[in-house]
Amino acid sequence: MPKLRYMLALAVFLSVVAGGIVTAHRCFNDVVLPARPVSLYSLERPSPGVLQIQVMGEKLTADLPAARERAVRAWQQIKDMPLINEKAAVIKQVITEQWPAGGL
């Protein structure tokens, strides 16, 4: 029960904060009337395989093919770890013992 209250309070808090940000953003553009409206974020693809994210004026550029290669290499390293494989085998064994495939 306390966990439910905590999650509910967190959801209400985040909703209020998000609502305040959206309201402030709309009111700023309506009141100040800048030449170019202020945006919280924007996503652009300047070229294939490149994603440019602008958040509150700060630009981040991601090279998607290179990021994908790094993620694949990291995943392969994780899959090749003996400890991970042993723990996965134990988890699989416990699950199959508790819920046999043809149990229903």
Burial readout 52-81 (b: 16 or more C-beta within 10 A, e: otherwise)? eeeeeeeeeeeeeeeeeeeeeeeeeeeeee
Q: What is the pTM of this model?
A: 0.41
User: What integer pLDDT is reported at residue 72 of this predicted model?
Assistant: 93
Q: What is the pLDDT of residues 12-69, one digit of tens each?
A: 999 999 999 888 888 887 888 778 777 778 888 888 888 899 887 788 898 888 888 9
User: What integer pLDDT is reported at residue 48 of this predicted model?
Assistant: 86
Are 58 and 39 a contacting pair, CB within 8 Å? no
Are 17 and 8 a contacting pair, CB within 8 Å? no
Tell me how far apart the alpha carbons of residues 14 and 100 are, in angstroms, rounded to a whole number.
Answer: 41
